[in-house]
Amino acid sequence: MEQYKGRAIVQKIAAGRIWFYTKEEQSVKRYRVEDTEKEWKRYEAARDEAVRELNGLREKAVRELGEINAAIFEAHALMLEDRDYSDSVKNIIETQGVNAEYAVAATGDNFARMFSGMEDEYFRAKAADVQDISERVIGILSGRRKRKKMGKEPVIVVAEDLAPSETVQMDKSKVLGFVTRQGSSQSHTAILARTMNLPALIGVPVREEWDGKMAVLDGVNGLLYVDPDEETLENMRKLQKEEQERIRLLTEYKDQETVTKSGRRVRLCANVGSVSDVAGALQNGAEGIGLFRSEYLFLEADHCPTEEEQFQTYRLAVEMMAGKPVVIRTIDIGADKRAPYMEGEPFHLEQETNPAMGLRGIRLSLEKEELFKTQLRAILRAGAYGEVSILYPLITSVEEFKRAKALLKEVEEELADFGIPCGKVRQGVMIETPAAAVLSDLLAAEAEFFSIGTNDLSQYTMAVDRENPRTEEYFDSHHPALLRLIEYTVKNARAAGIPVGICGDLGSDESLTEFFVKVGVDELSVPPSRVLPLREKIRNID
């Protein structure tokens, strides 16, 4: 048995086999070939395999997501079977005498540039699609698709590091927990682990040779056991039973009010990243969705979600909450939250020296107006089915918020002109920059509510990169400057008569719950698994 120490993210225990995740190599090499006919046949076989894959994905999507969300796979299969595309690949192979991988990559780039330059928005959207199908064929040709996939049994995912775009695309029903060498307790992967309520360790010296071995992830003590002995397994089973009993006792709070002994009412909502998370929110008695992270809809996809795809997702979440409030944060793509297709239309995300302070959040939305308006239309349409609010991320000035409000009004008028039903949504500011906190008195005059994003507010206040484990020792969740900014923001919100909530990780910190209640926070929005423990905590505050 081997034992390794790490930093625990979620204090739970999991036992199962290790699945070592390795990143796929993205580069395509160009080399000369003698037998171009053989190379062409390689391409044809890979193309046919890709079409079979896409048809299979379409059938799976129809069963799980419906016809609308499955249409993209059918469209991709048709593009692969297009004669112009295949003729281009064949021409490059034969005239240049090069390998099929390079011919496909070149064809994908050429077609993407062609579509991007067209005036028609429909054809411009095809640029990302053609890049995606090209990458699929290249993956088959190069053998990268043969990398071992998750089996039928749930596993402990072990990796050097995990990007949000990688974790969100995993089959969550098969993940028991996460173990990585890199990352920090404030990283987005850590946030996802909390949302999924899965044990996670960071800072573990992982090794690929562990793949397939039995392991125990002890999130309580921050330990990973590889090839555990029977005694260790038995101790872990006991701890798991204790945790299950604790969860059972908490269920008595599910339908109770979130109110202190002195009568102070606090709304307890849930943070979610997908429709599947909404079920967990309801199961744990959440009083609403305080933060729907819409960017995960984009990260889980292999293309930019259309207005209809977004609308169907938001509508389903709103309908599931059955009248309870749903706050949808507009896309917060950028920094470490990006997917391969975002290098093309309509994002054109470039590598940045300091992405945390780069083109992200509301900045990206205001620069990519059509992308932003598409999302606003989808949210407004979903608003016809329940109580919906819009939350704008990374606001640093009153002018940014006014521009966002103006675009929403423009979209609202467009929908009315076409007779498309939409709801009246509230508009709020996410207070996650010191600038927004300092200007909270001015922003409160324009906003209908505040939601304090403590993850980024902490990062920017203390100048600590949340993705850098080397600066973790400088992070202090109880830093006086941070708490002062929160208290100042709440004071200004209450003076203006608008509600204010906490939607960052600090909302789950029970050592700060009493502070939040006393300064006047109206709402705490936390991972679904934290709703009941916090309700118990608040009901015992005098």
> Position 262: which residue type?
S
Alpha-carbon distance of 171 to 169, in angstroms, equals 7
Structure tokens at 345: 């239309």
* Among 316, 336, 306, CA closest to 276: 316
217, 18 Cβ separation under 8 angstroms: no
Q: What residues contact 107, with CB distance under 8 A and at least 6 apart? A: 85, 88, 89, 92, 134
432 is known to lie in a ligand binding site: yes
Q: What residues contact 76, with CB distance under 8 A and at least 6 apart? A: 54, 129, 132, 133, 136
538, 260 Cβ separation under 8 angstroms: yes
456 is known to lie in a ligand binding site: yes
484 is known to lie in a ligand binding site: no
Type and span of the H or E element at 31: none
Type and span of the H or E element at 430: strand 426-431
- The single residue listed with the structure tokens 């020792």 is 473
Type and span of the H or E element at 86: helix 83-96
Q: Using CA of residue 425, residue 426, residue 430, residue 434, what is the dihedral sign?
A: positive
Alpha-carbon distance of 96 to 269, in angstroms, equals 60
Structure tokens at 246: 């604790």
270: which strand partners? 289, 526
7: which strand partners? 202
218 is known to lie in a ligand binding site: no
141, 101 Cβ separation under 8 angstroms: yes
Q: What is the DSSP letter of 349?
A: P
496, 468 Cβ separation under 8 angstroms: no
Q: What residues contact 185, with CB distance under 8 A and at least 6 apart? A: 7, 9, 202, 472, 475
Neighbouring CB atoms inside 10 A of 24's CB total 12
Q: Which active-site residues does the annotation give?
A: 188, 503
Alpha-carbon distance of 488 to 497, in angstroms, equals 14
**Overall size of the chain counted in residues:** 542
CA atoms within a 13 Å half-sphere pointing along the CA-CB vector of 441: 4
Alpha-carbon distance of 182 to 471, in angstroms, equals 12
160 is known to lie in a ligand binding site: no
> In Å, how far are 266, 365, 377, 495, 517 from 263, measured between CA atoms?
10, 41, 40, 21, 11
* Among 394, 433, 427, CA closest to 498: 427
43, 137 Cβ separation under 8 angstroms: yes
466 is known to lie in a ligand binding site: yes
Alpha-carbon distance of 217 to 193, in angstroms, equals 13
- Give the gyration radius of the chain's Cα atoms: 25
Residue ranges for the binding site? 293, 329, 432, 455-456, 466
Residue ranges for the binding site for Mg(2+)? 432, 456
